[in-house]
A and B are shown apart, each in its own frame.
Chain A
Amino acid sequence: MRTVDVARVTDAVREMCIEVNHKLSPDMAGKFPEAREREESPLGKQILGQLIKNMEIAQAEMIPICQDTGMAVVFLEVGQDVHFEGGNIEDAVNEGVRRGYVDGYLRKSVVRDPLERVNTGDNTPAVIHYSIVPGEQVKITLAPKGFGSENMSRVFMLKPAQGIEGVKEAVLTAVADAGPNACPPMVVGVGIGGTFEKCALLAKKALTRDVNVRSQIPYVAELETELLDKINDLGLGPGGLGGRVTALNVAVETYPTHIAGLPVAVNICCHVNRHISRVL
């Protein structure tokens, strides 16, 4: 049994909120020069150049990469031998988000009620996904999610007979419909299997994977590569203004599912795909 003070969680979340909104992880940042090299459209090349310059300014002058600093999505993997002390873990995470967004001059983009729509003023609450894992560590993954792309995300409840071709069609439909609204070049997270909510969670989790790492399952890794090529062949390009680079990566996660179902979720993220992890 290991005791962890929840104040450490608050501090970590605060720092991660600020860092991730000003500096992309190395895997994501590395995709841009590669994309500019590959892009054939002159306007597309110019836009990718602007995005690179934007990231340089963001980091050097501490101006958020994008004004939509997102709703804070937190994956909390808690070792089963951890005992938290010093308060409620959910409050601790939200306090970290509050301090990060206030102290870091980040945008407060959360409303208290989805229909009454009054801003909470501090970007809380976060959306927190907990999992209990073996061991005595706490892993915090923060992925602030912008809603230009979140709004274009979809869940498809396919029939098993639609198979892998149905999955490809669903992903391509979602990406084509998203078009310029989702700020291409996009990163596409796909969840296949599980239930209605499980596939959505898999798709979200897929967005937090290192973009240079393929699935461990050979056929899934092939599917990722094929989908990336097919998405780029849509021709949407940077900013949706035409070009060869429509997506920077596709990551697919799978889970066992019911004999009657083939759920597929497509979580679309813009090029500002922010994810950061820390282990306590």
Chain B
Amino acid sequence: MDRHITLPLSEAEARTLRAGDYVYLTGVLYTARDAAHKRMYDALKAGEELPVDLRGQLVYYLGPTPARPGHVIGSAGPTTSSRMDKYAPELLDLGLRGMVGKGKRTQAVIDAIVRNGAVYFAAVGGAGALLSKCIKEAEVVAYDDLGTEAIRRLRVEELPVIVVIDSEGNNLYATAAESWKR
């Protein structure tokens, strides 16, 4: 079913989402991918604060292309989520509400989603030009030296995503192919 959601996403609302729901996101979310996750993970291990308060927020696994002059951002589609699997459970336990990416997650991530009433969305991979049109503002807020891998605050309007793993642990990837298999 189609849903329109304003961010930040509350836990109560996250718990109403079901694998297979088509969702349009509007509001603020944060980008982070490999290098930013490693840095956040190392910061937590060292007992330091994260540079961005991710409690109740969504992280979009994204490293955009540079914006052309006059543009907010360049191409901006999802990267493969599995590379962040090592770091995701800890962030979810800290209060991260969910993630936008593409591709499979480990059982440890699925367990952390269920444990915290969170959600995992997929955006269409390889549609970075189309998805960039939904991004209305973009600002680097941490780890500027990482270039494309810096943490950015994005304001999005009607960003199209699909619920892949919901708070009950239903996993669309695990079931979707079955009905089309021959």
Q: Which residues of A contact B (CB under 8 A)?
A: 40-41, 43, 47, 50-51, 53-55, 57-58, 61-69, 105-109, 117, 119, 121, 147-148, 151, 179-183, 233-237, 239-244, 270-272
Chain B, residues 50-83, CB within 8 Å of chain A (1/0): the string is: 0000000000001111111001001111011010
Smallest Cβ distance from B151 to chain A, in angstroms?
15
Q: Are A242 and B179 neighbours in the complex by a CB distance under 8 Å? A: yes
Closest Cβ of chain A to B136, distance in Å, is 15
Q: List 7 A-B contacts (CB under 8 A).
A: A43-B162, A50-B130, A50-B160, A54-B124, A107-B66, A181-B80, A239-B102
Main secondary structure of the interface of A (DSSP, over half): loop
Asked if A183 and B126 sit within 8 Å, CB to CB, the answer is: yes
Closest to A62 in B: B68
Contact A181 B82 (CB under 8 A): yes
Using a Cβ–Cβ cut-off of 8 Å, how many residues does chain B contribute to the interface with A?
Answer: 46
Tell me which of B9-17, B109-117, B170-178 binds A.
B170-178
Interchain CA distance A69-B77 in the complex, whole Å: 11
Knowing A66-B77, A181-B102, A239-B102, say if A271 contacts B126 (CB, 8 Å).
yes
Query: What is the CA–CA distance of A280 and B35 in the complex, to the nearest angstrom?
Result: 40
When each residue 83-104 of chain B gets 1 if its CB lies under 8 Å from chain A and 0 otherwise, what string results?
0000000000000000000111
A233 and B148 contact, CB distance less than 8 A: no
Q: A67-B65, A117-B35, A242-B177 given as contacts; is B126 within 8 A of A51 (CB)?
A: yes
A51-B127, A54-B130 given; A67·B147 CB < 8 A: no
- With beta carbons under 8 angstroms apart, the residue of B65, B103, B147, B173 that contacts A106 is B65
Find out whether the CB atom of B102 lies under 8 angstroms from the CB atom of A180: yes
B129 CB–A CB distance under 8 Å: yes
Least Cβ–Cβ distance between A12 and chain B, in angstroms: 22
State whether B129 touches A58 (Cβ < 8 A).
Answer: yes
Task: Say how far A181's CB is from chain B's closest CB, in angstroms.
Answer: 4
Whether A63 pairs with B75 at a CB distance below 8 angstroms is yes
* Interface contact B132-A179, CB-CB below 8 Å: no
Q: How far is the CB of B163 from chain A (nearest CB, A)?
A: 11
Asked if B176 and A237 sit within 8 Å, CB to CB, the answer is yes
B182 interface contact, C-beta 8 A: yes
* A272 pairs with B126, CB closer than 8 A: yes
B122 touches A239 (CB 8 A): yes
The answer to whether A240 touches B127, judged by C-beta atoms less than 8 angstroms apart, is no
- Contacts of B122 on A, CB cut-off 8 Å? 180, 239, 241
- Does B155 count as interface, using CB distance less than 8 angstroms? no
